[in-house]
Structure 1
Amino acid sequence: REILNSLIDLKFKVIITGVYAYGFDESWLGREINANTVQELIELNRRLGVSIVGEGGEYETLVLDTPFFKKRIKILKYEKIWKGDSGYLKVLKATLAEKT
């Protein structure tokens, strides 16, 4: 929890790109990690034992921006791949963009 809150406080932009545990559905793919996401992860941890930081492989992430990146990663085109009870975000096209 503290790790995720630190990332948010430090202005990291991180999205969820893969989900591989019970309790997650396709709506998690592409979701930015923010305060609401952290609350939902805490609830999944409470109900199902999911690691809040995905340490058990429950989910994967992609960092799109940080304070020390000179440019940010902008995803232009993606596809959600869902198979049964897990899936991932397949980035088809991305570019480096100026920070806003």
Structure 2
Amino acid sequence: MMCSIKAGHNIVALANLKPQDNDELDSYMYQTVGHQAIELYAEAMALPLYRRTIHGSAMVTAQEYVVHPGDEVEDLFELLKEVKEKEQVEAVSVGAIFSDYQRLRVENVCSRLNLEPLAFLWQMEQEGLLKEMIAAGVHAIIIKVASLGLEPDTHLGKNVGDILPHLQQLSQKYGVNICGEGGEYETFTLDCPLFLKKIVIDSSEVVMHSDDAFAPVAYLRFLQMHLADKP
């Protein structure tokens, strides 16, 4: 979103797809962990938020997407269709960096709705991008780990900037994607220059999704959170 504003665009609304029951859907397309706090994004930015429950699943797993009823991509189509009708938006800003699978599906939806997809981070050098985001004042914490070298007890809840040296080591040693584009980890932003207030997590719990001996998969479930004034 920061890149969109820098390029001269105005952000008029936020859109999010949430899970029906579970926190973690293992979706090919969407991050669902941390969904409990999404409404605070909109409040922090003083923007309207449009949400839709994910009803579909990954029916079409080939690289190229063709419209298929029941696919999770169609949930995105319906969500953005509603946003376009109510807000008269002309473009959609997405944070895709490396995944052609995700990019092609967003482009498919945007083409059908006559919307322009904006992917300013696409194929940027990832270590440099992560450093740039940290330097720009993006305060994001790790809320899911799913990689060799990332431990639930040690890394969940940690500021990405604080564990950057560790991520660099994992990238060099094991080929871990330093921005988490391979699903190695997921984040939640607590503060950035676009927020009028910052998000504070008051309490959370660790949920073990897969207790693998070498690469356990676990995530944070937010229990209580609030907005606070920024210094």
| TM-based fold match above 0.5 | yes
TM range (shorter): over 0.9
1:20 aligns with 2:151: no
User: Within the alignment, does 1:98 sit opposite 2:224 as a pair?
Assistant: no
| 1:62 aligned residue (171, 188, 206) | 188
1:21 Cα deviation (Å)? 1.4
Query: How many residues align structurally?
Result: 99
Letter in 2 for 1:49: G
Q: Which runs of 4+ in 1 moved over 6 A?
A: none
Distance 1:80 1:87 in 2: 7
Q: Which letter does structure 2 place at the counterpart of 1:95?
A: H
The farther-off stretch of 79-88 and 65-74 is: 79-88
In structure 1, the gaps of 5 or more residues are: none
- What is the deviation of 1:99? 0.7
Pairwise CA distance, 1:3: 1.2
CA distance in 2, matches of 1:8, 1:23: 21
Question: Relative to total residues, which structure has the larger strand share, 1 or 2?
Answer: 1
Q: Tell me the distance in 2 between the aligned counterparts of 1:3 and 1:15.
A: 16
1:42 to 158, 165, 168: 168
User: Is 2:164 the counterpart of 1:33?
Assistant: no
Whichever residue aligns with residue 198 of structure 2, its letter is R
CA distance in 1, matches of 2:157, 2:130: 16
The CA distance in 1 between the partners of 2:150 and 2:134, in whole Å, is 21
Deviation string, structure 1 residues 76-96 (Cα, Å, up to 9, x no partner): 011112341110011101111
TM-score by length of 1: 0.93
How high is the TM-score relative to the length of structure 2?
Answer: 0.42
After superposition, give the CA deviation of every residue in 1:40-70 in whole Å (9 maximum; x if it has no partner).
1010011111100000011000000001101
Which of these residues, 177, 195, 204, is aligned with residue 51 of structure 1?
Answer: 177
The structure whose RCO (Cα within 8 Å, separation 6+) is larger is 1
What value does the CA root-mean-square deviation take over the aligned residues?
A: 1.0
Distance in structure 2 (CA, Å) of the matches to 1:47 and 1:9: 25
- Relative to its length, the structure with more helix (as a share) is 2
Cα distance between partner residues in 1 of 2:220 and 2:156: 6
**Of 219, 222, 225, which aligns to 1:88?**
219
User: 1:79 is matched with which residue: 188, 195, 205?
Assistant: 205
